[in-house]
Amino acid sequence: MEKSEFYRDARRDLAGPLVGLRVLEATTSWAGPMCACVLADMGADVIKVEQPSGEVTRRLPPFQAGVAFGHAMVNRNKRSLTLDLRVAEGREIFLKLAARSDIVVQNFRPGTLDKWGVGYESVRAVKPDIIYVSISGFGQFGPIHDRVGYDPIAQAMSGFMSLNGPVDGGPSKAATFLCDDLAGLHGAIAALGALHHRERTGEGQHLDVALLDAMLFQSDGYLTLGAMGLGFPRTGNEFTFSVPTNTYRCADGTVMLGILLDTHWKVGARMMGRAELADDPRFATLPGRMEHRQECNAVVSEWCCALTVKEVVETCARNTIPCSVVNTYEQAARDPHVLARDMLQPIEQENGQVAPITGPAAKFSRTPTRVRSAARALGADTDVILADLGIDAAARNRLRSAKII
């Protein structure tokens, strides 16, 4: 399918499928901002509330086009409001905005926003059908719910780190903020589920998303195996249920190649010039290949090492064998397919420089999504947002003098 065919019925007059949805975000770092980012990408009007000094993501290196890369990525498509929630006037403004909102997203330590007077019960009092998303390390209840919890802590506690990394290595964290990303996605999904319930019943609710829970849910059933006393070995780049599947060195790089089915093995054996192994009882079935894992890997390694990455990938593609070059992110950013999928979008930043911002993953044929605007300068929308609440220029000047905005 051509891209133009997929988008043939697209509406260009809408920002996305969530146009008209109002989200108030009081977050820091990554999980909470990611939840609101997903909603903003789909067209929701998201107001991100930060302390007047700004949240930490704005200051974390590296910087792209003069802007902190994390901030540029996760706070695009939002409006920026500075507001000190720890003082009465800041709290009152937040509650006025919450009363006009559909969803509130926050990811402070449990109890923090309650202490400030903008927790679920306080917001519910001014907006009974509010959908209030709380994201934290360990949840709103449970024996350790009030502990500080960051992404790598949840990775460690979940069991993920025990299996991640090379077979002969120690525990390793993910290269990305995996728990934060997953918790953000689950927060957005839960909010959409709660919206559906509210449309049917008029009822709002409090949503509790924990980094730990999100990581355990995405453990592919390993938690269940652990509960049954079934240990799982560290496999590095291999799998217990698929042989040969591994990384293999080529003449000029590395590929990831996987043969999952017995029928694929027959094709692959002939592809590699080893037709005699197609029906060899050592390799013809998965149990045989598992028993002869090293020999099987050696066959693939010998074939790959004599060829370039391009030759291996294209030969596998012609024979419907799953295979890909092992890219760096720099290489992935130049891949024609990545670019054709709009996964990098040039966006002018607050300082006038242009940066390639990672685009939304899901594609909507009728209501396309995109990076519509860069992450805003701190407080760039404060005056407009407060004026919309009826707070005039004189009052705003007083709030600035008091460092509430």
* Residues designated as active site: 180
Supply the Cα-derived Rg of the chain in whole angstroms.
25
Q: What is the DSSP letter of 75?
A: T
Q: Compute φ and ψ for 316, nearest 5 degrees.
A: -65, -40
- Other C-beta atoms lying within 10 Å of the C-beta of residue 87: 15
CA dist 121 to 95, 366, 389, Å? 11, 38, 22
- Give me the count of residues in the chain: 405
Select from 258, 303, 299 the least CA-distant residue to 280.
299
Tokens 């409001």 map to which residue? 81
What's 86-141 look like in SS3? CCHHHHHHHHHHHHCCCEEEECCCCCHHHHHCCCHHHHHHHCCCCEEEEEECCCCC
Structure tokens at 106: 């926050």
Q: Which amino acid is at 238?
A: E
